[in-house]
Structure 1
Amino acid sequence: MWFFIQAALYDNNITFSTLGPPKFIDRQEVPNVPLNAPKPVIGLDASTKVATDAFDDLEPEMIYLPLSAYSHYRLRGRSQNYPLLYEYFDINPYSGKLETSRRVSDLSMLEIVTGSMRPLHTGDFVGLSLKLVYFFFGILLSMMIFSGMMIWTKRTYKSTQTLLSRSTKAPSKTTKPEPSV
């Protein structure tokens, strides 16, 4: 039901996000280099280390490269305290400074509930072991559906056979109208 409500709100451009507008690097901070020369940026390992040094409970999962000269490295990871939601960190690729962080504690309660629905539904927050548990119970539920269909089919078949056998054994009564005097 929640996914239906969420889709209806999304289609009507209603959001619960408290994120705000995206942040960009100031023009003065972008190094001015010749056209074909590489920009002096920090490496991916160094940018990941900046975020993990600032937040020791962070387990980084993905890093997005800057889309332009004015955008940040964006690191996505999960906290060990609340593994259902991703946390995002923007790191300046030129200075290596952690510009912004979006942690679970920064989210509203409605954002936490909304963001937690998909991982709880699919089991995508602990790892392969939990996915296998979800798979096992999914198979079990599917088998219950098929066993219910088999029971219903057998019961319907038996009652149909009983009904048909009664109709073939019953003598047909053809009565002639009695002459009226």
Structure 2
Amino acid sequence: MAKFSNRFWFQLHGWFSLPIWIVFCFICITGTVSVISHELTWLTNPNSRATNPQHLAEKPMSELVDIVQQAHPTAKITTVMGFESYLVNAVVFSDHDKPVAIAYVNQYTGEIQEINLGITFTSFMRSLHGWLLFPWQNSYSVGYYIVCAMAIVMLGALVSGLMIYKKFWRAFTQPKLRVKQGKKTLFADLHRLAGVWSIWFLMLMSVTGLWYLAQAVMWQNHVEIDPHSPLVEISQVPTLSKNAPAPVPPFTLANAIDIAQQTFPDFKSTYIMLPEHQRDTYKIYGEGNEIFYDQYSYGVAVNPWTGEIESKRSPANMTGLQTLSHIANPLHYGTIGGLWTKAIWFIFGILLSGMSITGFLIWGSRTTKAAKSKTNKPTKYGNTQPIITQQESN
């Protein structure tokens, strides 16, 4: 019975990953690269580096918007994004000759270091990993569902793998890696060791992946997790006279950022959306001092005509779904502790990618051996197959 049980778990372990092995391995590799995509951008593109040799104070995002607006007077600026302190801020705008452009602005010196007219490396890798570049339509993407479904595969492979590897906890204190007994033995030892030491990482990726799957279902069914900011009351917008220029709101972006900083202590803005029309608001999002929440967990929507806060959010007033939504990414991509946790997530991402490869090699070796054994099995009329000598089998 025990032998049958082990065989069952081994077959189940294989079926959880082998039918979609290439997709699973691809997602693991692209996810591993995505973890350090900002750092790779810093290494490969000098214009993305926020150099600060004179140790200047960081300029507010409103000043960066003014710098880009002066350089491109006819541009319509829509978004400002802040990243790690060693990366420049990104100001997104459109112009008559630039449908979509991203200005790389050094937040210390105020210099526009580059105008990017295409997709960034980080955006490309996150899109490739997140939904395999499948198109989005009607609030869903087939690729997003495929990627999220890998969480089920990963969790099933983890549970079945632990059922196969009896007393797996010994690998923590007595790791076994036999390097002189052939490739098959070496791959098997590497696969088991990486699996045991990555239990916490596999669980974390599975849980966050299952949340992304649930989130996808809610998106497709138009279930709001973070509700949209309300529109400004039409009575608060000045009446537009014929042939008169559009009225300018009395409260500027700088005022809106000040209001956000007064609302939340230790607030640092990381993502700003400027009003798109007369009834829209300034949307100021940022981070506080909670390490498990993402960089958009704090936010206010400020009325540009009255300076009032139309809506706000913070970890203190989030619903359960909102909390899950804002802690999933830091846990999935390892941004909770900066470079140190990113390095840890990157290392275990490599281990996970390696496990998918060694698992396939082990399965291939066993399948080939089983096929040879079946071919050389004697028939009822005698052994009509050629005999393989010991020297040939070696």
TM over 0.5: yes
2:232 aligns to what? Answer: 24
Counterpart Cα distance in 1 of 2:268 and 2:239: 31
Change (3 A) 1:51 1:114: closer
What is the distance in 2 between the residues matched to 1:122 and 1:27? 44
> How many Å apart are 1:39 and its aligned residue?
1.1
Q: Which amino acid aligns with 2:383?
A: A
Amino acid paired to 2:357: F
2:333 to 103, 114, 122: 122
Bigger Cα displacement from structure 2, 37-46 vs 84-93 = 37-46
Secondary structure of residue in 1 paired with 2:312: strand
User: Which of 1 and 2 has higher RCO (CA within 8 Å, sep 6+)?
Assistant: 2
- Report the counterpart of residue 6 of structure 1 in structure 2: 215
| Structure 1 residues 102-181: aligned runs within 5 Å | 102-124=313-335, 126-165=337-376, 170=383
Q: SS of the residue aligned with 1:143?
A: helix
Q: Distance in 2 between matches of 1:83 and 1:125?
A: 6
> In 1, distance between residues paired with 2:305 and 2:281?
9
What displacement does 1:158 show? 3.5
* Aligned CA distance change for structure 1 residues 89 and 38 (closer, same or farther; 3 Å): same
Task: For residue 331 of structure 2, give the secondary structure of its aligned residue in structure 1.
Answer: helix
Indicate how the Cα distance of structure 1 residues 125 and 61 shifts in structure 2: closer, same or farther if over 3 A, else same: farther
- Identity, % of aligned positions: 27
Q: How many residues align?
A: 171
2:184 maps to none
Shift of 1:91: 1.9
State the secondary structure of the residue aligned to 2:287.
Answer: strand
Residues of 1 paired with 2:272 and 2:304: CA distance? Answer: 12
In structure 2, the residue matched to 1:79 is 288
Q: Which runs of 5+ in 2 are unaligned?
A: 1-209, 386-394
Give distance in 2, aligned partners of 1:56 and 1:88. Answer: 12
Alignment deviations for residues 69-120 of structure 1 (CA, whole Å, 9 cap, x no partner): 2222110112212542422212232454444322221222233134433443
Cα distance per residue 1:119-151 (max 9 Å; x no partner): 433335554543443232122111011112212
| Higher helix residue share | 2
Structure 1 residues 22 and 140, CA gap change in structure 2 (3 angstroms): same
SS in 2 for 1:66: coil
Decide whether aligned partners of structure 1 residues 65 and 125 sit closer, same or farther in structure 2, where only a CA change above 3 A counts: farther
Separation in structure 2 between the aligned mates of residue 133 and residue 154 of structure 1, nearest angstrom: 31
Q: 2:335 touches 2:342 (CA, 8 Å); kept in 1?
A: yes
Q: Which amino acid aligns with 1:157?
A: T
